[in-house]
């Protein structure tokens, strides 16, 4: 079968890496695993050795046909359920763990869709650069909007870097295996408001944080004075601001709006 780079069809071929991906997930025989982008079933095969059931989502009809033939027995035994469709558009079924080598072009929207669901943990193969931004801390070059939003929703850790040569066809960049554990690292009262604040700040990341906050307050009809206790941060750059500070500021604005 011809693999299409334009469709992010970089298949993980290295069996040692495939087994480590599954080991990181610590799957027990009573758990249901969701896999997005099942492809030819290399990872699916390893997951079925451990899980009670695997639910695979695959968009490419050619891959779907291959998976149905390859796992016909598991489908009959109801140990493998295959859903054909776009993972960003269809509803996710209930699952315990998420394990996948996802299409890299949908890394951000798929990650936040995933974090909107209840599950134990996820092991996800990302592009290395995306993984570094996802897990970055304040004060580092990779720290940005993605880093802040992720910290509000989960604990993210890079487990290992995977060489591009583990895939076929070989992509232009290396990858990384990331563990995500859904948890609230701090309280966010209004996630949408929090997201808007973070987006505004990092759209002006070369300017001082106070300038971005001033513009954001003006655009949203917010009295800048209510954020006076955060003025010590205003002379810093957005990449120097901890995620907890963004959350505290958004919560302050949320409470102010609720009593107006």
pLDDT in tens, 50-66: 999 999 999 999 999 99
Q: How many domains does the chain have?
A: 2
pLDDT in tens, 123-132: 999 999 999 9
User: 150 and 34, same structural domain?
Assistant: yes
pLDDT in tens, 152-171: 999 999 999 999 999 998 99
Residue with tokens 């998420």: 98
User: 105 and 39, same structural domain?
Assistant: yes
Mean pLDDT of 69-77: 97
User: 119 and 57, same structural domain?
Assistant: yes
Domain hosting residue 216, numbered range: 191-258
User: 21 and 87, same structural domain?
Assistant: yes
Q: Is a pLDDT exceeding 60 seen at residue 7?
A: no
Helices (H) and strands (E) in the chain, counts: 10, 9
User: 153 and 82, same structural domain?
Assistant: yes
Q: How many CB atoms lie within 10 A of CB 49?
A: 11
Q: Is a pLDDT exceeding 80 seen at residue 32?
A: yes
User: 85 and 59, same structural domain?
Assistant: yes
CATH code for the domain in which residue 78 is found: 3.40.50.150
- At 30, give phi and psi (nearest 5°): -115, 15
User: 97 and 38, same structural domain?
Assistant: yes
Q: Is a pLDDT exceeding 80 seen at residue 8?
A: no
Q: Is a pLDDT exceeding 70 seen at residue 18?
A: yes
User: 134 and 45, same structural domain?
Assistant: yes
User: 160 and 36, same structural domain?
Assistant: yes
The pTM of the full predicted model, rounded to 2 decimals, is 0.93
Q: 230: which residues sit within 8 A by CB, 6+ positions away?
A: 213, 245, 248, 249, 252
Q: Is a pLDDT exceeding 90 seen at residue 15?
A: yes
User: 170 and 149, same structural domain?
Assistant: yes
User: 171 and 61, same structural domain?
Assistant: yes
User: 139 and 12, same structural domain?
Assistant: yes
pLDDT in tens, 176-218: 999 999 998 899 999 999 999 999 999 998 999 999 999 999 9
CATH code for the domain in which residue 197 is found: 1.10.8
Q: Is a pLDDT exceeding 70 seen at residue 105?
A: yes
CB 253 within 8 A of CB 227: yes
């Amino acid at each position: 079968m011809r693999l299409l780079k334009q469709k992010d069809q970089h298949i993980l071929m290295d069996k040692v890496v495939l087994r480590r991906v599954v080991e990181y997930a610590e799957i027990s025989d009573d758990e249901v695993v969701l896999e997005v982008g099942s492809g030819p079933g290399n990872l699916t095969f390893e997951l079925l050795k451990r899980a009670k059931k695997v639910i695979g989502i695959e968009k490419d009809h050619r891959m779907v046909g291959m998976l149905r033939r390859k796992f016909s027995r598991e489908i009959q035994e109801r140990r493998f359920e295959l859903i054909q469709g776009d993972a960003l558009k269809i509803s996710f079924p209930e699952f315990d763990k998420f394990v996948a080598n996802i299409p890299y072009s949908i890394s951000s929207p798929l990650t936040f869709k995933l974090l909107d669901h209840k599950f134990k943990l996820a092991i996800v193969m990302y592009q290395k650069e995306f993984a570094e931004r996802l897990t970055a801390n304040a004060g580092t070059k990779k720290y940005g909007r993605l880093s802040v939003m992720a910290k509000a929703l989960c604990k993210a850790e890079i487990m290992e870097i995977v060489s591009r040569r583990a895939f076929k066809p070989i992509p232009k960049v290396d990858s990384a295996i990331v563990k995500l554990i859904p948890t609230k690292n701090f309280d966010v009262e209004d996630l949408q408001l929090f997201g808007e604040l973070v987006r505004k700040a990092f759209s002006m990341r070369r300017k001082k944080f106070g300038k971005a906050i001033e513009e954001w307050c003006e655009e949203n009809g917010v009295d800048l004075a209510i954020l006076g206790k955060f003025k010590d941060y205003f002379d810093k750059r957005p990449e120097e601001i901890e995620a907890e500070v963004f959350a505290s500021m958004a919560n302050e604005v949320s409470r102010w709006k609720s009593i107006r």
